[in-house]
Amino acid sequence: MTGSIGILTAGGDSPGLNAAIRAISRSAAADGRQVIGFRDGFRGLMENRTVRLSSDVVSGILTAGGTLLGTSRDKPHKMPVGSRTLDMREKMAEVYEANHLDVLICLGGGGTQKNAFGLMEQGLNVITVPKTIDNDVYGTDVTFGFDTALGIATEAVDRLHSTAHSHHRIIVLEVMGHNTGWLALGAGIAGGADVILMPEIPYDFDVVAQAVLRRSQAGKNFSIVAVAEGAVSREGSQELAEARSRIAAADSKQERKEAKAELAERQSDQVGNTLRLTRGLEERTGLESRLTILGHVQRGGTPSAGDRLLATRLGTACVELVREQTYGVMVASRGDGVEAVPLEEVIGKRKVVPGDHPWVASARSVGVCLGD
């Protein structure tokens, strides 16, 4: 007898999740398979909180933002249970068996790929689908959620132009991206930002200030600065690199613990970088500066047509892999097609913006300052 397909969404919410859930459910129904959704990510799997994803349940969710199933950032091997943190992977394996699942499909970002791999090591058949607005999952051309967030961030840059021009201000726009600058770079280029700062290229404060002053001296009475939340100065980047090197060089467990604590402190020091940048630009240029933090607005609302198409394409490809009994893989986008990438090739890696990426070259060619 054909078993059921389990599905969960984990990590941050992302536009297109419902489109992927719908695609998997409808494709599986064509095979006569039942699809069981687990609520609130891996915690719902551990607690066996389920919903049967019938045609009626997934009807009308294609254009809805968020996720029908709910999500959480709980990790299977570090699950808060009462006052303790426990490894609940064996319990999740029991729930998997109790529901007679052939496979568990996990929709999520880099952390979800790693957590799914941990369940695979417990003997579960797993397939993952890459989603995140940061577009930083290794091994895939693009993640669904990115296109929608890119459109929202670009529209924000567009709208800020008018107020920056009217008030002769520097407007600093912070977009998401703790570790990568895909969103800031894409929105900055598409929206015509004058300065783009991202984690991959540590910035020199003086270089940024001089770029703004050159515009002012040329008669341009405003500037737009697009910043990824994880962008750091050269000094900050050096401090973080030194802290990480001390972790790598630690000879004992205690030394490693102390080095990790130092890194955490250094990372905490970087919080508020964008506000400091805004105030510093005002001081150095003499131009009125304002900060806008886009925040979770980037995650919300109706997914773009591009994200609906991508999520549907990856979702239906998942079911095709189930038919072929191909497990332990991530369904990656490759051009107009898909590729099954082994999870061990994905975990522990991150897709960052290369210094020679065409977007970087294009930004420099049109005179955008990247802070270096």
Q: What is the pLDDT of residues 254-298, one digit of tens each?
A: 777 777 777 777 766 666 788 888 998 999 888 889 999 998 898
The predicted pLDDT at position 1 comes to 43
Domain of residue 165, CATH code: 3.40.50.460
The predicted pLDDT at position 164 comes to 82
Q: Is residue 140 part of a domain?
A: yes
Q: Is residue 354 part of a domain?
A: no
The residues with which 197 forms a beta bridge, in sequence order, are 227
Q: Is residue 248 part of a domain?
A: no
Q: Is residue 370 part of a domain?
A: no
- Counting the structural domains of the chain, the total is 2
Our answer to whether residue 134 is catalytic in this structure is yes
Q: Is residue 368 part of a domain?
A: no
Residue 172 and residue 115 share a domain: no
The predicted pLDDT at position 271 comes to 66
The predicted pLDDT at position 42 comes to 96
Residue 111 and residue 17 share a domain: yes
Residue 206 and residue 283 share a domain: yes
Residue 192 and residue 155 share a domain: yes
The predicted pLDDT at position 255 comes to 75
pTM of the model: 0.91
Residue 314 and residue 205 share a domain: no
Provide CB contacts within 8 A for 72, sequence distance 6+.
10, 40, 41, 42, 43, 44
pLDDT tens digits, one per residue of 328-360: 999 999 998 999 999 999 999 999 999 999 999
Q: Where in the sequence is the domain holding 26, given as residue range(s)?
A: 4-144+303-345
Residue 332 and residue 200 share a domain: no
The predicted pLDDT at position 216 comes to 87
Phi, psi of 153 (to 5 degrees): -65, -40
Residue 196 and residue 139 share a domain: no
Q: How far is CA 115 from CA 26, 110, 128, 368, in A?
A: 26, 9, 10, 39
Residue 229 and residue 216 share a domain: yes
Q: Is residue 249 part of a domain?
A: no
Residue 225 and residue 164 share a domain: yes
Which candidate in 74, 134, 147, 194 is catalytic? 134
Residue 206 and residue 285 share a domain: yes
Residue 213, Cβ density class (10 Å: 0-12 exposed, 13-18 middle, ≥19 buried) = middle
With a cut of 50, list the residues of the chain below it in pLDDT.
1
